[in-house]
Amino acid sequence: MKIHPTDLPDVLLIEPRVFRDDRGFFYEAFNADVFAEHAADGLPTRFLQDNHSRSTERVLRGLHYQLLRPQGKLVTCVRGTIFDVAVDIRVGSPTFGRWTSATLSGDEPRYLWIPPGFAHGFCVLSPVADVMYKCTELYDAGDERGMLWSDERIDIAWPVGDALTSPKDQQYAGLDPTRPDLPRYGL
């Protein structure tokens, strides 16, 4: 497994070891011992929930986060292609308001590790995409929060025009450090 830093120090791009031949490929999607070898890099070995999302072309989901029970997310695309984004929304962080991204594809297995305290979103670049992600905390609907995906203060360079979003994702407020529902850096 190879680990690559991103523009945000806590967000990591992970490449599993992939074995390819004429029949296709094989890789270990998760191995706790291998992740434990990289604990110093910030990778967890304990996940409590797995999620699977299927979306069609131009769908944009996010930006989502949890406040009281924040989830770290290990995100991969197993079918199709997505533009995956992490935004540092931790008030007081030296990288507050900055974002990083990775293109994830079912043809080239990679993961984006998004730690707790970051907002997450993605848009679909293929006709259909299946996204799988492991979470470090259980989902709590009452703790669900969001950030406006098109907030000019964050200025994410989404590669889709005329994105299809949910009504809920269209209603979220933008990034403002005075918002009481943002995580705090170092807590």
Provide the annotated active-site residues.
64, 133
Work out whether the CA dihedral 21, 54, 131, 96 comes out positive or negative. Answer: positive
Residue 102 and residue 83: Cα distance in Å, rounded?
6
Please give the helix or strand (H or E) that residue 135 lies within, else none: strand 128-135
Residue whose entry in the numeric block shows the structure tokens 């990288």? 95
What's the angle, vertex CA 73, arms to CA 67 and CA 74, rounded to 5? 175
Structure token digits, residue 51: 């999620």
